[in-house]
Amino acid sequence: MDPRFDVELISVTKRYGATLAVDGISLRIPRASYTCLLGPSGCGKTTTLRMIAGHEAISDGDILIDDKNVSLLPPAARGTAMMFQSYALFPHLNCLDNVAFSLKMRGIAKAERHKAAREFLDLVHLGDYAMRLPSQLSGGQQQRVALARALITRPKVLLLDEPLSALDPFLRIKVREELKRLQRELEITFIHVTHSQDEAMALADLMVVMEDGHIRQAGPPREIFEKPVNPFIARFIGGHNVMMSDQGPIAIRADRCRLGVASDGPHVKGRVTVVEYQGTMVRVAIATDPGDEVSALVPDGLFHEQPVQPGDAATLVWLDRDVHWMANA
Amino acid sequence: MSGQHSLHAPFLGFSRWPRLAFPNIRLTPAMVSWLQVGPLALVLIALVALPAFLFLAVSFFDYDRTGIYPAFMLDNYADLLTTPATLRVYVSSLKLAGIVWAITLFLGFNIAWFLVFHVRNGMVRTVFFLACAIPFWTSGIIRTIAWIPFLGRNGAFNQALMSLGLTSQPLEFLLFSDFAVIITYVHLFTLLMVGPIANSMAKIDPALIEAAIDAGASRFKVMTNVVIPLSKTGIALGSILVFTQVMGDYFVVRQMSGGQSASIVSMLSTEIQAMQYPPASANAMVLVVFVAVMVGCMMRIVDIRKELVK
């Protein structure tokens, strides 16, 4: 039977001495999906990725890939390939030999492995750069060589450790489109570690938010954005105003909030601290009288009908139906 | 020039060229460059170029038992290059250099690998490096002589072997033999290998090794495909250091071989003691050229300058 999941983590734990880096996490990653592990630095997301890759031993628990327990297998026997954050291209080898490296390790003859490497360089549109050394390439090109080098092993699962963090913002968006396209075309699972929620939301079929060695919430990006389970998720994912109500913490999306008057309905009073023009929207940050930092994302037309300045008194209003109730953190 | 200068100075708040305390003396960029290279150039000219030139000149001189006489003759070189003893000494020195090079390379590479990739704790690594380096605070002569009571006929090693019942009588080959010479060289020169290789290895991103393992490389293939190619600058530098040290050695061979072997420099020193300066100079010139050619060959294999600039 076709396995239902490409990767399964079963109470996987990583201890470094007395510190718990990853605390008994369980996760099922469906077939051919794009999964993003998201979280602040030190949350255990990279350690989790490295345990799936086999570069970090598992202290407890099991990892299944394609229904096979790989917990004790070496990296190359797991059907995974890893793309490193620094790309880790071999500086003494040209692009062709970098891409062909894993085939060389398997003892495949030079002509054959170079032919295959050329195909994969073409796949990432670097066919013309085969003879260049990594140091002669731009960051974006190096990244594509690293991608080709990982894909040539025909992995079931491609593991990407913050692949976009070294690129400039413009390139980042282009490369992330490219990653998504490749994942769709190759129909394999990508597991992508990032600390950027924009990146995760743009790419992920399954978004896994981690904090402090635990998975706090896993699901499709829309579900996480619309129904964050706790204040940490709501704050981390951004675009939410998190406030305390009598019945527990609530989150209201900043783009559903407006500046208004107390008679409009649910509201909180405060003082404008920052006005940020963002093009289509204007973000108005308000320090509320109860002491929260909240903001309203107001369409620019609406804002300019009644502009406010930092220091002005303001009232943040919203509709009851936009209130999302959360569990305590 | 001065017009341009006065135009800029008020805007920049400092002059483009450094000014000395004397009025009206401005250093041009060319003068600054000369001042920067000058001191080292003077030292090198006085202590390297001039003596070498002196040797070169004297190597063509005539001599007899009472003195040396300016001349231009090639007899000193002809004598040297046609004596069978020269070839014998060069061959035996090369053989020693080859053996010592192989042993120090093996040890040095592995020690460097251990220090750089296996000792994770920075403190422990510093302690190990110091443990390697501290013996070098004493002179090479003392470290050479220290082997004599250890390796001698009634030395510590033989005593230990006999008291353990492993041998019934002392091993004779331990001291005053090629064995003793090699062991002393290895002791003296291994650090010269460790240093440059460790320096090269420290520049290897550990992620490269993981990437190789991820691609299915065995430990051995990680070494041959990643670590060795990326350490080759250090290997070449260490090799040159060890090779030149062995070829230029005088003391170790004399002390440790018990007069059974001769080195190139001991041949040279015999000539100096006999006041035969012109043949000694010729000998020195041939050694310099020989070592320079060998080092040049090593540099052809690994372009050290290119790698050092990186």
Average pLDDT over residues A187-191: 94
CB distance A309 to A275 below 8 Å: yes
Contact B216 A106 (CB under 8 A): yes
B195 min Cα distance to partner chain A (Å): 22
**Is the pTM above the cut of 0.90?**
no
How confident is the model at residue B158, as a pLDDT?
84
Average pLDDT of every residue of chain A: 92
Q: Can you say whether the dihedral through the CA atoms of A300, A301, A302, A305 is positive or negative?
A: positive
Backbone angles phi, psi at A280, to 5 degrees: -75, -20
In the predicted structure, residue B66 carries a pLDDT above the cut 90: no
- Chain B residues with CB under 8 Å of A148 CB are none
Contact A76 B225 (CB under 8 A): no
In the predicted structure, residue B14 carries a pLDDT above the cut 60: no
What distance lies between CA A216 and its chain's CA centroid?
Answer: 14
- Report the percentage of chain B scoring pLDDT > 90: 36
Distance from C-alpha of A164 to C-alpha of B172, rounded to nearest angstrom: 67
A136 min Cα distance to partner chain B (Å): 13
- Chain A residues with CB under 8 Å of B229 CB are 92
In the predicted structure, residue A221 carries a pLDDT above the cut 90: yes
User: Which tens digits make up the pLDDT trace of B95-106?
Assistant: 989 999 999 999
Closest Cα in chain A to B208: A88
Q: Residue ranges per domain, chain B?
A: 2-58, 74-309
Q: Which residue has the tokens 């909180």?
A: A268
Average pLDDT over residues B140-163: 85
**Minimal CA–CA distance to A314: which of A279, A288, A281, A275?**
A288
- Please report the ipTM that was assigned to this predicted complex: 0.85
Which stretch of A290-304, A312-326, B32-46, B144-158 has the lowest confidence by average pLDDT? B144-158
Return the axis-axis angle of helices B277-301 and B75-82, rounded to nearest 10°. 70
- Chain B residues with CB under 8 Å of A82 CB are 210-211, 214
Contact A101 B212 (CB under 8 A): yes
Q: Is A127 helix (H, G, I), strand (E, B) or coil?
A: helix
Contact A88 B208 (CB under 8 A): yes
Average pLDDT over residues A298-319: 91
Average pLDDT of every residue of chain B: 85
Q: Please list, residue by residue across A79-103, b when 16 or more beta carbons sit within 10 angstroms of its beta carbon and e when fewer do.
A: bbbbbbbbbbbbbbbbbbbbbbbbb
Which stretch of A59-73, B160-174, B230-244 has the lowest confidence by average pLDDT? B160-174
B211 touches chain A (CB under 8 A): yes
How confident is the model at residue A192, as a pLDDT?
95
Where does residue A180 rank: exposed (0-12), middle (13-18), buried (19+ CB within 10 A)?
middle
User: Would you state the structure tokens that stand for residue A74, as one six-digit string?
Assistant: 């070496």
**Architecture of the structural domain at B74-309:** Orthogonal Bundle (1.10)
Centre a 10 Å sphere on the Cβ of residue B256 and count the other Cβ atoms it contains.
25
Backbone angles phi, psi at A311, to 5 degrees: 100, -25
DSSP E strands: which ranges in chain A?
Answer: 5-16, 19-30, 34-38, 60-65, 68-69, 80-83, 157-161, 189-194, 206-211, 214-219, 240-245, 248-253, 258-259, 267-277, 281-288, 293-299, 313-317, 324-325
**DSSP conformation class of A78:** T
B28 min Cα distance to partner chain A (Å): 36
Which stretch of A24-38, A268-282, B59-73 has the lowest confidence by average pLDDT? B59-73
Interface of B with A in 278-297 (CB under 8 A): none
A92 min Cα distance to partner chain B (Å): 7
Which residue stretches of chain B are H helix? 2-12, 29-44, 50-58, 75-82, 84-113, 122-133, 140-145, 147-151, 156-163, 178-202, 206-214, 219-222, 228-247, 251-256, 264-273, 277-301, 304-309
In the predicted structure, residue A303 carries a pLDDT above the cut 80: yes
CB distance A192 to A160 below 8 Å: yes
Contact A76 B214 (CB under 8 A): yes
B226 touches chain A (CB under 8 A): yes
Closest Cα in chain A to B209: A88
Label residue B147 by pLDDT band (50, 70, 90): confident
Contact A88 B230 (CB under 8 A): no
- Alpha carbon distance, N-terminus to C-terminus of chain B: 37
Contact A82 B211 (CB under 8 A): yes
- Chain A residues with CB under 8 Å of B210 CB are 55, 75, 82, 84, 88
Contact A88 B221 (CB under 8 A): no
How confident is the model at residue B128, as a pLDDT?
87
Count contacts between A and B (CB, < 8 Å). 62
Distance from C-alpha of B101 to C-alpha of B193, rounded to nearest angstrom: 9
Q: Which of B210, B216, B217 sits opposite A88 (nearest CB)?
A: B210
Contact A153 B229 (CB under 8 A): no
Could you tell me the CA-to-CA distances from A58 to A102, A159, A317, B208 in Å, in that order? 25, 17, 49, 22
Label residue B8 by pLDDT band (50, 70, 90): very low
In the predicted structure, residue B7 carries a pLDDT above the cut 80: no
Mutate to test the interface with A, among B214, B223, B302 (most CBs of A within 10 A): B214
Where does residue A54 rank: exposed (0-12), middle (13-18), buried (19+ CB within 10 A)?
buried
B225 min Cα distance to partner chain A (Å): 9
Contact B214 A106 (CB under 8 A): no
Q: Which of B213, B218, B226 sits opposite A90 (nearest CB)?
A: B226
Bridge partners for B6 per DSSP = none
Average pLDDT over residues A307-322: 91
Q: Which residue has the tokens 């001042």?
A: B35
Where does residue A138 rank: exposed (0-12), middle (13-18), buried (19+ CB within 10 A)?
exposed
- Chain B residues with CB under 8 Å of A90 CB are 208, 211-212, 225-226
How confident is the model at residue A184, as a pLDDT?
93
Q: Is A261 helix (H, G, I), strand (E, B) or coil?
A: coil
Contact A82 B214 (CB under 8 A): yes
Structural domains of chain A ordered from first start: 5-226 (3.40.50.300), 243-325 (2.40.50.140)
**Minimal CA–CA distance to B203: which of B238, B233, B223?**
B233
